């Protein structure tokens, strides 16, 4: 089930205005340049910010996302016609394989894939989409840094004037920590003009999310089991010391190994 922030068109339209600083994507642009990527698959492309940055640089881009509302926002942006947009998750990629140079999962995308089976299928699908020697790059927070301890109203509350919405109040509330799974609720209150929200006509919306915090060794083992070579684990420039940025290379086999023996099951 897609989180409401991506499923509800109103919230999808608020996503970019409430998070306008996407300096985190600069590292991915440098990685695309570093590896000479001319064709990129952006898994979990959301509202298309990174896909469109790549397209502006002449890169052939496929943007994939299961949230129709987010893709609607992406498709309405200038230059959207340069990107091939696909509605679905990695298991919905077309056949024959795309043969891209680079597969990316920016921001929270990798952690939002909380189901272990879908995670395995995503790694397999990304491998099959890569050309031999292509790379998969994604980031994930270090569980030891306990990022969720700052997910509360006092530390996350903000007010933003958004065209078409007026004054928008937003904050995050931690709801549950269960092993590697961390759940939280985003709150949005909007209505009225820049002078303040009219409480009598205010619209309040929430969106519940869960992220899986995987250990570094766990991720490395998953990648190796699916045929990748872990080339590097880098620091995230926007969250130094708090995240892992994995760079994994496809070995070049025609298809990844089946680490769980599913092909032989009857």
Residue 96: asked if its preceding bond is cis (omega within 30°), the reply is: yes
What is the chain's percent helix, strand, coil content, to nearest 5?
Answer: 35, 35, 35
What does the block give as tokens for 153?
A: 């109203």
**Spatial distance between the Cα atoms of 238 and 140, rounded to a whole number of angstroms:** 12
pLDDT at 262: 40
Domain boundaries, given as residue ranges, for the chain: 4-142+214-264, 145-212
Which whole number is the average pLDDT over 146-171?
95
DSSP 154-170: HHH-EEEEETTTEEEEE
Query: Chain-centre distance of CA 38, in angstroms?
Result: 21
Answer yes or no: is pLDDT of 260 > 90. Answer: no
pLDDT at 170: 96
CATH number of 4-142+214-264: 3.40.50.150
Answer yes or no: is pLDDT of 265 > 80. Answer: no
Look-up of token digits 């509202």? 47
Answer yes or no: is pLDDT of 213 > 60. Answer: yes
pLDDT at 258: 53
**pLDDT per residue as tens digits for the range 168-203:** 999 999 999 999 999 999 999 998 544 555 555 688
pTM as predicted: 0.90
Which whole number is the average pLDDT over 38-56?
98
Poorest-pLDDT segment among 21-25, 159-163, 198-202 = 198-202
* pLDDT: which is higher, 203 or 122: 122
59 burial (CB, 10 Å; 0-12 / 13-18 / 19+) is buried
163: three-class secondary structure by DSSP = coil
**Spatial distance between the Cα atoms of 134 and 236, rounded to a whole number of angstroms:** 21
**Spatial distance between the Cα atoms of 165 and 198, rounded to a whole number of angstroms:** 12
Q: How confident is the model at residue 234 (pLDDT cuts 50, 70, 90)?
A: very high
> How many of the other CB atoms lie within 10 Å of CB of 76?
11
């Amino acid at each position: 089930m897609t989180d409401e922030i991506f499923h509800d068109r109103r919230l999808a339209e608020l996503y970019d205005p409430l998070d306008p600083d996407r300096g985190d994507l600069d590292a991915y642009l440098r990685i695309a340049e570093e590896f000479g990527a001319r064709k990129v698959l952006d898994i979990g492309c959301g509202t298309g910010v990174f896909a469109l940055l790549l397209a502006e640089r002449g890169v052939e881009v496929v943007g994939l996302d299961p949230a129709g509302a987010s893709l609607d926002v992406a498709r309405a942006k200038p230059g959207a016609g340069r990107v091939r947009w696909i509605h679905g998750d990695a298991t919905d990629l077309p056949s024959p394989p795309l043969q891209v140079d680079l597969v990316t999962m920016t921001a929270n995308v990798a952690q939002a894939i909380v189901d272990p089976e879908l995670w395995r299928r995503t790694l397999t699908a990304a491998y099959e989409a890569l050309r031999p020697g292509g790379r998969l790059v994604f980031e994930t927070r270090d569980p030891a840094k306990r990022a969720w301890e700052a997910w509360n109203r006092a530390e996350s509350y903000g007010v933003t004037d958004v065209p078409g919405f007026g004054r928008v109040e937003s904050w995050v509330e931690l709801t549950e920590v269960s092993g590697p799974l961390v759940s939280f609720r985003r709150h949005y209150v909007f209505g009225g003009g820049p002078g303040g929200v009219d409480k009598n006509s205010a619209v309040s919306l929430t969106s519940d999310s869960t992220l899986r915090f995987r250990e570094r060794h766990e991720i490395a083992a998953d990648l190796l089991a699916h045929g990748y070579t872990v080339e590097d684990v880098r620091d995230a420039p926007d969250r130094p010391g708090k995240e892992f940025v994995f760079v994994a290379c496809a070995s070049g086999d025609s298809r990844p190994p089946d680490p769980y023996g599913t092909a032989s099951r009857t």
